[in-house]
A and B are shown apart, each in its own frame.
Chain A
């Protein structure tokens, strides 16, 4: 969510993940604690023998505290499942956060590659290389007929999930979003919330991804998601144009009030923050709010989440204290930033 890359006013990020399992071990649900440790060791050892290891960090997630785990989850470097589960588990991190590899998640390995804006093909290229490197040292469970074997049959075959995170506030405001989802569902494209499966739709962010993993090539699946995105971008742009032409005053009022609340509230929850930041983001993109920049808004989406906020403060905070701290943080960045940008 760095706010650059193609179509970055609507497309936040592109993400590709692969599910892989080591042939010598049972799947996670039948792994003994010893097996889990052995899987982690095998992966760690494989990584150490690759040039990749020079620039990555192997993090033992089981040894991390709650706050650190949640922090990684908020940055989408680990999943909810890896955060919550028990036993030996790890994540391999790229310092630039272009990829991460989760160990002992739902599958032994979950590789993910992230990219700002819409750029699925180059994300797949990087993923393919990353997978090749690991595969040269590890034996994956694979059959010619069914491809890569995964713990859940919904991922078997390519083990690939291609997803694009979109910011669709105008489609939400014009109440067209459900219609769009129904159309996507018909063509086997899934819609999820900010943090993937089972998460809430927050801040008008939607993740769209392929529903099937078997029977199509990786590039075929990439193309399928890729082909839907321009249409969604176009729908969102049309909805934005409609709002500007039909009710510019109302829209301007709405986004300005959102900014007003963020700049003046004394206590604010993260849900409320997301809700108003989303409106501000649309306002900035439509030129209705001039003194705030998109990268600032994108940063605030991330930094106002609970674990980030506590990390920034350097201590654990209660919910109430977080809400106060969040309000302070927003004001500091939105007001100071707008004054700095004016000067």
Chain B
């Protein structure tokens, strides 16, 4: 669900009880929720108190954390978390990995859940980790070629073709995570065992 005032996801669902027309539910993004919560002046004492509390509890504390999160950048598409917060749209599938810590509370807020329990595609090679790994290997191979290190380049080429040909379940997230841990190992163990499901 999007914010009532802009295109960003609505992560604040505020029920205003002090409206003269009766309770009103508002769906707002973080920014508009802040604006809403911080407007005072003509507001009633109750909403003034609410805005004060919101300022104290949310903004100041969150502001520090946000400043750190905002600087995080996705190594694939290059957007920062601040860019995402501004536009409400992610730049690539790997953002879900790169901004995992930041997105998790947001997902809980939106969906009340963190785990997919729905349909699973037959072809599961579309994981962002796999895409990321392929990109990494390809750039390493390029570099090796530039350095005329053909032995490494050919080993990398084999790794790439292994990943590319193996488009079935062995490229699930678990297998990749294991693999990413032993990134520096010299031997050809990159193709991890298919995980036991």
Q: Which A residues are within 8 Å of any B CB, using their own CB?
A: 21-24, 26-30, 106, 128, 131-132, 135-136, 139-149, 151-154, 156-158, 160, 178, 181-182, 185, 188, 190, 197-198, 211-218, 220-221
Contacts and interface: CB of A to CB of B under 8 A. Distances in A.
Contacts of B76: 26
B131 to A, nearest CB: 6
A185 B25 contact: yes
A152 B77 contact: no
Given A144-B116, A147-B118, A216-B118, A154 B89 contact: no
A162 B191 CA distance: 40
B93 A215 contact: no
Contact of B96 (A28, A146, A215): A146
Contacts of A188: 112
Contacts of A135: 121-123
A131 to B, nearest CB: 8
A215 B106 contact: no
A158 B113 CA distance: 12
Interface string B157-178: 0000000000100001110000
A128 B25 contact: no
A27 B115 CA distance: 22
Nearest to A215: B113
Nearest to B119: A218
Contacts of A30: 77-79, 91-92
Given A153-B107, A154-B1, A156-B107, A21 B93 contact: yes
Question: Which of B9, B87, B89 has the most CB atoms of chain A within a 10 A radius of its CB?
Answer: B89
B91 A214 contact: no
Contact of A215 (B9, B111, B123): B111
A26 B2 contact: no
Nearest to A185: B25
B153 to A, nearest CB: 23
Interface of B: 1-2, 9-10, 13, 22-23, 25, 76-79, 87-93, 95-96, 103, 106-107, 110-131, 167, 172-174
A138 to B, nearest CB: 8
Contacts of B78: 30
Contact of B103 (A23, A153, A211): A153
Contacts of B121: 135, 140, 142
Contacts of B111: 156-157, 212-215
A27 B91 contact: yes
A107 to B, nearest CB: 10
A157 B25 contact: no
A128 B120 CA distance: 11
A163 to B, nearest CB: 12
Contacts of A213: 111
A135 to B, nearest CB: 5
Contacts of A220: 117-118
B23 A212 contact: no
Contacts of B128: 23, 141, 143, 149
A213 B1 CA distance: 10
B90 to A, nearest CB: 6
A218 to B, nearest CB: 5
B1 to A, nearest CB: 5
28 contacts: A23-B131, A26-B76, A26-B91, A27-B77, A29-B87, A132-B122, A136-B122, A140-B126, A142-B121, A143-B116, A144-B120, A145-B116, A145-B173, A146-B107, A146-B115, A147-B118, A152-B88, A153-B107, A153-B110, A154-B110, A156-B96, A178-B22, A185-B25, A211-B1, A214-B107, A215-B116, A218-B119, A220-B118
B115 A145 contact: yes
Contact of A149 (B87, B93, B167, B174): B93
B118 A217 contact: yes
A42 to B, nearest CB: 13
A220 B117 CA distance: 10
A214 B25 contact: no
A23 B128 CA distance: 7
What 8 A-B pairs come out closest when comparing CB atoms?
A215-B113, A147-B116, A23-B126, A141-B93, A214-B111, A30-B91, A158-B118, A26-B92
Nearest to A157: B116
Contact of B119 (A128, A145, A149, A151): A128
B90 A153 contact: yes
Contact of A160 (B77, B115, B118, B129): B118
